[in-house]
């Protein structure tokens, strides 16, 4: 059996779609907008929250405001790193460590294609090197 390939730009956790008042076409456009303000948890602790300006990045990304954790830096994560979403706790759990996120390519809104290439390569490689989650 071959492992499922990691695709950084595709949601793996469908729980964000549990709200029945939205139709599939609407959810496909911006499934992330309902997550603004949610806390974001790496495998080793909190890293910040979904930024109010999340709509400024493509819908296959999440803009995270890190606060003082990375000197007030804003990071952009591909949605493929989302392990699960807990709506009752208003938390998004990602399957990367704080260091993996800290070392990711910095978001460049002026050169989106290069950013996507570098970020896709970075997270795909980090996924390949991760031990399997139980």
Distance, CA of 116 to CA of 122 (rounded, Å): 10
Structure tokens at 31: 């499934």
pTM: 0.74
Structure tokens at 14: 């469908």
pLDDT of 113 above 70: yes
Distance, CA of 98 to CA of 77 (rounded, Å): 12
Most confident of 26-35, 56-65, 84-93, 102-111: 84-93
* pLDDT, tens only, 58-103: 778 888 988 776 667 778 888 889 888 888 899 999 999 998 888 8
Distance, CA of 93 to CA of 113 (rounded, Å): 26
Structure tokens at 132: 């399997």
| Domain 27-129 class, CATH top level | mainly beta
Q: Where are the domains of the chain?
A: 27-129
């Amino acid at each position: 059996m071959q492992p499922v390939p990691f695709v950084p730009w595709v949601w793996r956790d469908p729980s964000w779609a549990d709200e029945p008042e939205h139709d599939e076409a609407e959810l496909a456009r911006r499934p992330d907008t309902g997550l603004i303000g949610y806390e974001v948890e790496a495998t080793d602790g909190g890293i910040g929250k979904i930024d109010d300006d999340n709509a400024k990045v493509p819908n296959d990304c999440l803009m995270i405001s890190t606060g003082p954790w990375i000197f007030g830096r804003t990071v952009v994560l591909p949605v493929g790193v989302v392990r699960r979403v807990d709506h009752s706790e208003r938390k998004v759990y990602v399957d990367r460590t704080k260091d993996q996120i800290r070392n990711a390519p910095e978001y460049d809104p002026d050169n989106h294609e290069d950013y996507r290439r570098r970020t896709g390569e970075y997270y795909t490689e980090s996924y390949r090197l991760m031990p399997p989650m139980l």
